[in-house]
Amino acid sequence: MTIKKQPSKIDRYIEIQKNCATKEDYYLKLVEASEGGSVIALFELAWCCRKGYGTPIDLELAFKSFQKAADRKFFLAQLELAFCYEFGEGVERDEKKAISIFKRFAKKENAEACYRLGICYSRQENENSFVYFKKGGG
């Protein structure tokens, strides 16, 4: 007896993307799904806005979409918020907010957060920068 693996929510969005005739169609499907309450669609929508996939680049809308998904505890969106604050994408640059988010994930041993925290600390000439670089695999 073979047990068929159920597709994940991410797999469903990959399948939707494959079945869309254009990038614009995919973007519109994401808008519809995010309005229907899908946090993954909201996250994907933010990426489309950030990269200009199926829509013109709109960093403010990307930030707002990441924020909404982060408010719903979607951890990838929370990390993306930190990047937005670190680089000032769609929001005023605020390294303190970025560091606060990266610290929260660094405590959970998230390699990317540790690495980014090391970078932020190195800009501040903080002696802990190397510790976090090392934790992040850098």
Q: 26-75, pLDDT tens digit by residue? A: 999 999 999 999 999 999 999 999 999 999 999 999 999 999 999 999 98
Instruction: Please give the angle made by the CA atoms of 47, 53 and 40, to the nearest 5 degrees.
Output: 35
Output the CA–CA distances (angstroms, integers) from residue 98 to 70, 77, 91, 126, 129, in the order listed. 14, 13, 12, 15, 15
Task: Examine the fold and report which residue of 77, 104, 125 is the final residue of a domain before the chain moves on.
Answer: 77
93-111 average pLDDT score: 90
Q: Is residue 100 part of a domain?
A: yes
Name the DSSP letter for residue 89.
S
Average pLDDT value over all residues in the chain: 85
Judgement on whether residues 73 and 108 belong to the same structural domain of the protein: no
Give the domain range for residue 70: 8-77
Task: Examine the fold and report which residue of 36, 51, 77 is the final residue of a domain before the chain moves on.
Answer: 77
Q: Is residue 86 part of a domain?
A: no
Distance CA 106, CA 104 (A): 6
Judgement on whether residues 53 and 18 belong to the same structural domain of the protein: yes
Judgement on whether residues 106 and 58 belong to the same structural domain of the protein: no
pTM (2 d.p.): 0.81
